[in-house]
Amino acid sequence: MDITSLKGTAFGGYSKKSVHEFFEELTLANSIKLSELAEEKGALIDKITELEKKVASLEEALGNSENDKEHVAKAIVSAEKEAAKILANAASEAEELKKNTQKELKGEFELLKDLRLSTLQAMTAYKDKLDAISKRLGGEE
């Protein structure tokens, strides 16, 4: 559902149910995005843990075998580079997601402000009409 699919009411504005459904869908969509980010974060943490275990294992092998010293050192450097890449990518992706979410929320906030203004205008117009009807009915008595 998007903002254009909100149902209008007989007196102008939007139906409460339609707006409520819109917010429920928006909340659900944001919850899904946050869940996906949490899953991705968990996977990255698992990968970092795996790399940390690999580094620890390589360090142990280094202590046990002087002949493998150069090989293990290269593997540690490689693992550290990979971990750094993963962390940099995760930070970049998180920042991008944050920016996109902020942009979407800002847009939704602007839509809400517009809806509020429209609602207030409709209520004012409705009050004016009721006042006019009341004056006419009061004048007929």
Q: pLDDT 10s per residue in the chain (141 long)? A: 566 666 666 566 777 788 888 889 889 999 999 999 999 999 999 999 999 999 888 888 767 777 667 777 888 899 999 999 999 998 999 899 999 999 999 999 999 999 999 999 999 999 999 999 999 988 655
Nearest C-alpha neighbor of 45 from the set 79, 6, 83: 83
| Whole-angstrom distance, CA of residue 93 vs CA of residue 71 | 33
pLDDT at 71: 76
pLDDT at 48: 92
Phi, psi of 14 (to 5 degrees): -130, 155
Q: Is residue 138 part of a domain?
A: no
| Whole-angstrom distance, CA of residue 136 vs CA of residue 141 | 9
Q: Is residue 139 part of a domain?
A: no
Q: Is residue 45 part of a domain?
A: yes
Phi, psi of 8 (to 5 degrees): -80, 165
* Angle formed by the axes of helices 69-140 and 16-64, nearest 10°: 170
Query: Per the structure block, which two tokens stand in for 134?
Result: 């009341």
Q: Is residue 97 part of a domain?
A: yes
Q: Is residue 56 part of a domain?
A: yes
- Report the length, in residues, of the chain: 141
Q: Is residue 29 part of a domain?
A: yes
pLDDT at 8: 65
- Give the gyration radius of the chain's Cα atoms: 30
pLDDT at 45: 93
Range of the domain at 124: 13-129
Q: Is residue 36 part of a domain?
A: yes
Model's pTM, two decimal places? 0.36
Q: Is residue 54 part of a domain?
A: yes
Helix (H, G, I), strand (E, B) or coil at 14: strand
| Whole-angstrom distance, CA of residue 14 vs CA of residue 10 | 9
pLDDT at 23: 87
- Domain count for the chain, please give it: 1
